[in-house]
A and B are shown apart, each in its own frame.
Chain A
Amino acid sequence: MLIYALVAGVLFGLYFSLVGIGLNLVFGVMRIVNLAHGDFLMLGAFVAFGVVTLAGIDPLFAVPLAFVLFVLVGMLLYWVLVPRLQGSVNPEMLSIILFFGLSQVIEAVTTIFFGTSERSIQSRALGTVFQTIKIKLFGGTPDSGGPIQIFGQGFPASWVIASITSLIAIAFVYVYLYRTRLGTLTRAVMSRRDEAFATGIDVDRVSAAAFGIGLGLAAVAGVFAPFMFGSVTPAFGADATVTSFAIVVLGSLGNPLGTALGGVVYGVCYMLVQTYLSSWADLLPYVLLIFILLLRPSGLLGRRVRVA
């Protein structure tokens, strides 16, 4: 049981890292609290529903589609919302309210078009593309797509696929931040926005890219949400946002790679509490969040941020 909880915690934790990393990128670069983060997750889940119901193919194909789509949406939104916001007196506070408004709009529009019913996808649908490739290349018959064995315990294949995709996405963020020119510029903007501006970096362009990538990552996480959480409704966004915050703060706000660690710690804690003290499991993210903020507000891997 302990091993099951630990492995499930790591699998879930990697996925949770993906859930939080986009939020953290946006906060790190723009000092903007994207309260609509969870709603972009929810929209990503609807892209997956669309791919499955309209095209009838593996929801994995929704991953690149959702990413590209929401990178574009993000850049567009950036130009509409952020420059105006940053001209105001207290952008960090006002961003909370602005993006709360955006999350209301997204939730309302989704409800108007798709209704409030819970939607889910058969977990067997995820990963069918691998089977098809395997059969094409090596022959053989399709197996039942049952649980995957790790340390003698069975885990749903969808959890494993989601956590592998999360690992790839985190690696992508690492390459973007530390191995590309745009990433170097992004990190410059992260550490000092005004100095980056003074050295001639096109801060708006860099921020727009980071905002787009942040939303794209949220949408990718959303594609797996129906498998990880069972079902998704338009109202799913608000809870997802709070959970993402717990993960991001745990890792450290403003350091996207810290989120990977935060997600795993969160996932393992969650699974342990779920296993041994299930009636208190709901309390965990919030209590954890408060304790981390008070004891080490910069997160597990962060710089100092506390002011008073």
Chain B
Amino acid sequence: MPSAFKHTLFIVAPLLAVFAVLPGVYENHLLLFNFVIFLILAQGVNIIYGFTGYLPFGYVGFFGAGAYGFAILVMHYQAPAVIAVLAAGLVGVALGLLLTPLLRLSGAYFAIANLAASLAVLHFVANPALENITRGPYGVSLTGTFNPTLAYSAALAVLALTLGAVVFLKNSGFGLALQAVREDAVSASMAGVNVVRMRVIAWLASALVAGLAGGVYAWYVSVFYPDNVFSGDFSIFAIVFALFGGVATISGPIVGVIILYGIYNLIGFTTPQYFQLIYGLLIMGLVLFLPAGLVSLATRRGWHVP
């Protein structure tokens, strides 16, 4: 059995099945939806950070741009929601293309520039001067397309696409080449890997995923403000979830989202500052004691983790 097929059968299919069945037995659909969104975003971070080493500290920029792409298509062109979600993905890719020059930067420089880019997009969208296009800081309301059930299915479809991309990266020469570039770009290029093209493709793939997720999110919540969909929490959470599980694996980010976002919801929102304290300590502990994620507990013993 080829390993790509095994990964699909034993990781991707069960996960999708569980999230397809859960809305029937569990009432808090918003929570389930958020789980799916964070699974998508964590895997999106996995694609770019895990396989190329670029830390997208402003990953939410694509997400928010996707949400606003969806909103603009629905508001101004009365597009059907599915078309608008696809357009949201395209908006994500377009923003990704616009930001490809950032890939010339390395290390912390890239992370900071990416953070600045996401904040620039936020302030651009939220600018009162653009009120007729984006409604500026006053937020958008898309009651016409409101349909949580369909939006949830669309989110599952995006999740399937994302997981498919990660399974492909994990099992193909392309993914291997990307990891070679991450470890040592010069040697990889000596071995005949087209470094720039590889990086750009991975970058655009992760932008596409976040754009689609943003579109689905806008569809599901239907009323939002720039500060909601551009909230830095999305970037941070997605990065921390992916890292906690372990990047450059299929299962790592999934485990990270389920454990950490589960804890997040168990602690609850009643006393946000205590939650923030525990979360901060958890993040610090993670970096200091488990920098390669939960999966490193297994790989250290020589077990193979997909």
Contacts and interface: CB of A to CB of B under 8 A. Distances in A.
A97 B117 CA distance: 18
Instruction: Specify which of A98, A112, A242, A286 lies most central, judged by the most chain B CB atoms within 10 Å of its CB.
Output: A286
A306 B103 CA distance: 10
Interface string A69-107: 000000000000100110011101111111011111111
B111 A33 contact: yes
Contact of B124 (A90, A97, A283, A294): A283
B108 A92 contact: yes
Given A81-B288, A286-B120, A293 B105 contact: yes
Interface string A220-260: 00000000000000000010001001100100010000000
Instruction: Specify which of B101, B103, B127, B291 lies most central, judged by the most chain A CB atoms within 10 Å of its CB.
Output: B291
Interface string B240-284: 100100000000000000000000000000000111110111111
A85 B288 contact: yes
Given A97-B243, A279-B129, A293 B288 contact: no
B158 interface: no
Nearest to A289: B116
B55 A102 contact: no
Interface size class of B (residues with CB under 8 A): 35 or more
A287 to B, nearest CB: 5
A100 B232 CA distance: 12
Given A97-B240, A112-B274, A283 B102 contact: no
A23 B52 CA distance: 27
Q: Is the interface of A mostly helix, strand, loop or mixed?
A: helix
A108 interface: yes
A246 B109 contact: no
Interface size class of A (residues with CB under 8 A): 35 or more
Contacts of B123: 282-283, 286
Interface in B171-198: 185, 195-196
Instruction: Specify which of A27, A108, A283, A294 lies most central, judged by the most chain B CB atoms within 10 Å of its CB.
Output: A108
Contacts of B107: 92-93
Nearest to A306: B104
Interface string B290-302: 0110000000000
B31 to A, nearest CB: 22
B242 to A, nearest CB: 11
A18 B130 CA distance: 35
A116 to B, nearest CB: 8
Interface string A267-281: 000000000000110
A129 interface: no
Given A94-B291, A101-B287, A294 B104 contact: yes
A184 B120 CA distance: 39
Contact of A245 (B116, B127, B236, B291): B116
A193 to B, nearest CB: 15
Nearest to A91: B291
Contacts of A289: 112-113, 116
Interface string B82-113: 00000000000000000001111111110111
9 contacts: A93-B108, A97-B240, A97-B286, A112-B277, A253-B109, A286-B116, A287-B120, A293-B112, A294-B101
Interface of B: 53, 55, 57, 101-109, 111-113, 115-117, 119-120, 123-124, 127-129, 185, 195-196, 232, 236, 239-240, 243, 273-277, 279-284, 286-288, 291-292
Given A97-B287, A249-B109, A290-B120, 11 more contacts: A93-B53, A98-B288, A101-B281, A105-B280, A108-B280, A109-B277, A283-B124, A286-B117, A293-B112, A305-B109, A308-B103
Nearest 9 Cβ contacts at the A-B interface: A104-B280, A101-B283, A105-B280, A108-B277, A286-B120, A108-B276, A101-B284, A98-B287, A307-B106
